[in-house]
Each structure stands twice: as structure tokens, then as C-alpha cells.
Amino acid sequence: MAASNHKRAIIGLLLVIVGSLFLLDNLGFDIDVPYYLFSWPAVFVVLGIINLLSGNRRSSLIFFGLATIFYLHYYDVINLRDVWPVILIIIGLSFILRKKSRPKSASESSESYFDEVAIFGGTEKKFVSEKLEGGKVSCIFGGSEIDLRGSKAQDGAVIEIFCMFGGVELMLPDDWKVNMDATAIFGGFSDARKTITDKPSATVHIKGFTMFGGGEIKN
């Protein structure tokens, strides 16, 4: 849990620093920061670092690649207008020539508390804890799929959800009673489990906030 809090603190600090620099620039302050540290390509670098810390290596490579292209364009190494058609051709060929692969199973953990972050990417985790205390899920322009069907929740466990332009899918056992207290703005959160037992093994509280996004509980 300490490692998750440390990772969340690093991501939050990066976002605060970048947002503050852009805000000061918009307010007219003369910030003596080199271009390569204060520019839109730098935003792609930050997004790449955030996704790398979140475990989304594929998304991080995409953002690092975009940052490299914009930096090369700025320093007149390449012409962005000439590169974009080549990039589109490569992406198109990758879809055509990509071999069908077996679906990857979600990574499994036995931790009693989870803390998942998805920013411009996605996460897929499975938890098999014998004493699940709860967890946090944060999605910003991304999505998370959390499978808790193999876990046993402590009565009163709390799962906190924050979604902005993103979504989360929770897969819960049939014998969990769920109390939802979520604020939704242009979004929603629903319990779509098809079968729910009359004798719950535990009561789980889901609290959170969704804006232009939402979540769903399945079994």
C-alpha cells in the first residue's frame, strides 16, 4: 500500500507542476524555462511517465514517441507535415498485418488493499485477497477493470472511485451487498449483476465521483 501511495504522490506532483507552469504562462508571467521543459511535447513526456508508473507500457511508448516527433520537428530535424502521412501508413499496416494473439489474463494480486490509476490508458487487475479491506480506482481519460470475484471482503470495506472522461468496471461476487454513494455529472454508476444472493457474506461501500464517465458492477 505504501508503494501505491508513493506512485500516486509522484503522479499528482507531476500534474501539479505542469499545470502550474501552464497556468502562470496563461496569466502572463514571464517564466524562464527552456522550451523542451515547457511545451506541448513536454506534456506528452509527462503523460508517458505517468503511464509508465501506472504499468501501461504500450501507452507510455506512444506518448514518448509523439514527444520525440514534436521535438524533432521543433529543432528542424524532420518536417511534421511530411511525417504524419508516414505515421498513418505505419498504423494502418500494423492493423492489417497484426497477428491475432491470445488474450492476456489480468495480473493477479493477493493484497488486502488496492490502488489503481489509469491516465490515458487502461489497467486490468485481479485480486484474490482473503481479507479485502477496500481500495481506490482513479481513471482520467482511461479505464480500469478490477476483478474481485476471488476475494473475501471484510464487512464494511470501502472502494473509492474517481472517474473523469473514463470508466471503471468492477466484477464482484454474487454474495456481496453493495451500498453505493457516488456523485455523477454527465455519467453514472450502476450495479448490473444478474444474480445477487439474499444472504450476503459482507457489505461493501462504493463511494466516489464520476464526471463524463462512469462505472458498472458485474458478476
As a whole number, mean pLDDT of residues 140-165 equals 85
pLDDT band, very low/low/confident/very high, at 144 (cuts 50, 70, 90): confident
What pLDDT score was predicted for residue 130?
A: 86
Residue-wise burial string across 196-209, b where 16 or more C-beta atoms lie within 10 A, e elsewhere: beeebebebebebb
The whole-angstrom separation of Cα 97 and Cα 18 is: 38
pLDDT of 101 strictly over 50: no
Task: Average the pLDDT over 115-136 and give the result.
Answer: 82
pLDDT tier at 97 (50, 70, 90 boundaries)? low
pLDDT at 216: 82
The predicted model gives 120-127 an average pLDDT of 79
- CA proximity to 209, closest of 144, 138, 116: 138
| Higher per-residue confidence, 81 vs 93 | 81
Beta bridge partner(s), residue 214: 167, 188
Q: How confident is the model at residue 63 (pLDDT cuts 50, 70, 90)?
A: confident
Grade residue 76 by pLDDT with cuts at 50, 70 and 90: confident
Residue 104 — very low, low, confident or very high, per pLDDT cuts 50/70/90? very low
pLDDT of residue 84: 75
Q: Among 13-17, 39-43, 92-96, 192-196, where is mean pLDDT lowest? A: 92-96
Residue 11 has pLDDT above 70, yes or no: no
- Is 35's pLDDT higher than 60? no
In this predicted model, which residue has the larger pLDDT, 134 or 195? 134
Non-local (6+) Cβ contacts of 176 within 8 A are 153, 200, 201, 202, 203, 204
How sure is the predictor about 185, in pLDDT bands with cuts at 50, 70 and 90? confident
Q: With the C-alpha atoms ordered 19, 139, 161, 116, is the resulting torsion angle positive or negative? A: negative
Task: Look at residue 123 in the predicted model and tell me its pLDDT.
Answer: 77
Check if the beta carbon of residue 204 is closer than 8 Å to that of residue 161. no
